[in-house]
Amino acid sequence: MTGDVLERLTTAGVSVWLDDLTRDRLADGSLAALVRSRRVTGATSDPSMLAKSLCDSPFYAGQLDDLAHRGVRAEQALRLVTTHDIRWACDILRPVHEATGGADGLVSVGIDPRLAHDAGATLAEARELWRVTGRANVMVRIPATDAGLTALSACLAEGINADATLILSADRYDLVADACFEGLERAHRAGLPLAGISSVASFLVGRIDSAVDTLLDREGTLEARAMHGTAAVSGARLAHERHERTYRGARWRALAALGARPQRLLWADTTVRNPAYHDTRYVDRLVTRGTVNTMPPATLQAVADHGSVVPRRWTEETYDDARRLLGHLQWFGIDHGELVLRLESEALKQADDSWHQLLDALTLALDKDRQTP
């Protein structure tokens, strides 16, 4: 894998993270190799990838066999399996974490999304994950529901690194940023050093275009077709505009003076679903300094092979163009605000479904091992 394009992406100020935290990638040394080459500086986990790996990978077999014969049930087994992998990934990325003063080298791991509307339960799970991993560079991933935002603030207030997920609009990002500031302010009042607390806000990109393009296809006009593929990047850029505005304010300046590290925007869901689009579209068009782009292996490979990374400073004109394009959706009867609310609900349901599939896959693997003498 050539590193030229990824190096340009890094030089442009974008941190490249790998969206694949499975034992295969840990055991075969591929994550370590990407980290050593300085192409990858963080990792996120995907429950659907883990579900497949549990069924197919020989690297889980020994541990699953032991857990099965001990009578461990699926949910407890999941914690033991993932904790092992989280620590391993954190240790691989520790040199990056140390070299960047904690800004990078992070491992973002989700907790049970079924708790997304229960702030207390989410916080309790986050505390437990933070405790059992025992790694300063682990980051707890929390859906940005109303309850999740409460849990996000509480985590940061206790010095727990946090990743706010399922963000699909600039308005939702505003709420995430406010929750982040509140958590850091509480951490300061509690006497915690703010420089050691990291946070990202994960904006889901690809599914927005998929939903909008489907609605545009119903129009069947040339004007509607011309709007294809414009919504996702426009929405992401408007979230970035809010980010820039937020971090120019007095509230942030006060936190920065106390040593706080800014919450970065992370571009997630960067797989291109529409074969008519270039497969590196969401990486190429979201190059801006101070952000993170997490990519599954196929997207990372595509970017390394033929990505078109051209750093450009996003200006007021960039944001105005994005606002204009999203405004055009109304011409076709598409209410972007209503659409985003539906997509947020669907994204949370998909996260629930993936978690159930993961538990089902683990249950099948454990039952199979129990039947083996």
User: Which whole number is the average pLDDT over 310-336?
Assistant: 94
For 116, half-sphere exposure in the C-beta direction (CA atoms, 13 angstrom radius) is 20
pLDDT band at 2 (very low <50, low <70, confident <90, very high): very low
Q: Is the pLDDT of residue 158 over 50?
A: yes
Average pLDDT, the chain: 93
Question: What is the amino acid identity at position 136?
Answer: A
Tell me yes or no: is domain 4-370 CATH 3.40.220.10: no
User: Which whole number is the average pLDDT over 278-299?
Assistant: 95
Q: Is the pLDDT of residue 131 over 60?
A: yes
Q: Which residues contact 27 (CB under 8 A, 6 or more apart)?
A: 59
According to the model, what pLDDT value does residue 1 have? 39
Q: What is the pLDDT of residues 338-349, one digit of tens each?
A: 999 999 999 999
Residues 352 and 114 sit within 8 Å (Cβ to Cβ): yes
According to the model, what pLDDT value does residue 341 have? 94
* For the chain, percent of residues with pLDDT exceeding 70: 98
Residues in the chain, overall count: 373
CA distances from 63 to 173, 231, 241 (A): 40, 45, 47
d(CA 336, CA 345): 14
Q: What is the pLDDT of residues 53-68, one digit of tens each?
A: 877 788 998 999 999 9
Residues 338 and 157 sit within 8 Å (Cβ to Cβ): no
d(CA 250, CA 256): 10
- Partners of residue 264 on adjacent β-strands: 200
pLDDT band at 172 (very low <50, low <70, confident <90, very high): very high
Report the alpha-carbon angle 115-121-127, nearest 5.
115
According to the model, what pLDDT value does residue 313 have? 86
Q: Is the pLDDT of residue 167 over 90?
A: yes
- Partners of residue 18 on adjacent β-strands: 43, 295
